[in-house]
Amino acid sequence: MAPSSTPPRRAWVLRVALILSLFGASCASGEPGSTSSGTTTVAAEAKSSDLLSLRFSGTTDAPLGYYEYLPPGYGDGEKRPLLIALHGLGANGDGSERELPKLVTAENGDNAGIVALIEDDRWPLDRPFVVLAPQHDSPEDINIGPCDWEAEVQAFIEYAVANYDVDPERVYLTGLSCGAYGAWMDIAEHGNSQIAAMIPIAGDPYLAWAKAECDLGGVPIWAFHGDADEVVSIFYPRVVMKDLGACPSPPRHEATLTVYPGVDHNSWTSTYDLTAGHDIYAWMLNHQRGD
């Protein structure tokens, strides 16, 4: 047998160095939105997971811990579109090193969102979004529901626009299940003051409609729901989207509900990975705030 061209100890050292370098890239310690070179450059064989970092609670000025994805070329002075992705109830946590990874490890399907696509290298590098996915924690106050995080969403977007090279006119919001409820309530509270377009998936819009009614139409909305969903019934999404569609246009923007026949609560996996055939990312990019 031919001898190895690399001495065993040196090979072991090289492997350890590689592991440590990859770990350091994933658990970022620099300033948010920063890279060591100032610009996100990637090799030809790079994958989306190489550009994904965790920002734990207390390590930034953000109100929440979050995942951060910076697209290739970020830092070159161009303002990128910003996509805020809100998780489901099963991924709730305090943004710590122990709990933030629940966004990709939760076992009830709440881990099948955009962060998981990036982590699994199923996110095309030519998508231009800066993606930030904050982690919401269940409140200690029993009078506040576990999905009530619209105030946090507003504060987090303010932080993101102030700390990242993003275009404030192209801020997009999506959420699945509990996160979709939070997205609905965010635009009920704040209208189009921050958001250019919204993709809520498997979320209940009833309370948002009760609060804002036709004012929800200030933001273009493309909602998705499975008609076999037994966790969040499709009843109110159908009623609200029908009522919203009857609001005067203008000022109402487009409001579309796509229903998946026979699909249960997890209507987000095939929506986010585009296997359902709806290019939500191109749709979002067609909208700017104030259009």
Structure tokens at 24: 């350091």
Whether pLDDT at 283 is above 90? yes
pLDDT tens, residue by residue, 82-135: 999 999 988 899 999 999 999 988 766 666 799 999 999 999 999 999 999 999
Whether pLDDT at 24 is above 90? no
Whether pLDDT at 47 is above 60? yes
Considering the domain boundaries, does residue 28 fall inside one?
Answer: no
Residues forming beta bridges with residue 223, ordered by sequence position: 257
Rounded to the nearest 10 degrees, what angle do helices 150-163 and 178-190 cross at? 80
Number of domains in the chain: 1
Query: What pLDDT is attached to residue 74?
Result: 96
Place of tokens 């987090």: 156
Least confident of 9-18, 55-64, 199-208, 231-240: 9-18
Considering the domain boundaries, does residue 121 fall inside one?
Answer: yes
Considering the domain boundaries, does residue 235 fall inside one?
Answer: yes
Contacts of residue 183, Cβ cutoff 8 Å, sequence gap at least 6:
86, 153, 173, 174, 175, 198, 200, 203
**Residue 137's pLDDT band (cuts 50, 70, 90):** confident
| Sheet arrangement for strand 52-55 | 52-55, 66-69, 130-134, 80-86, 166-176, 197-201, 221-226, 255-260
Structure tokens at 265: 């609560």
Q: What is the mean pLDDT of the chain?
A: 86
Domain that holds residue 207: 46-285
Query: What pLDDT is attached to residue 16?
Result: 34
Considering the domain boundaries, does residue 93 fall inside one?
Answer: yes
Chain centroid offset of residue 137 CA: 16
Considering the domain boundaries, does residue 60 fall inside one?
Answer: yes
Domain CATH for 214: 3.40.50.1820
Considering the domain boundaries, does residue 4 fall inside one?
Answer: no
Question: How confident is the model over 139-168, as a mean pLDDT?
Answer: 85
Considering the domain boundaries, does residue 7 fall inside one?
Answer: no
Whether the upstream peptide bond of residue 81 has omega within 30° of 0, thus cis, is: no
Query: What pLDDT is attached to residue 41?
Result: 61
Considering the domain boundaries, does residue 84 fall inside one?
Answer: yes
Is the Cβ–Cβ distance between 100 and 56 less than 8 Å?
Answer: yes
pLDDT tens, residue by residue, 242-262: 999 999 988 899 999 999 999
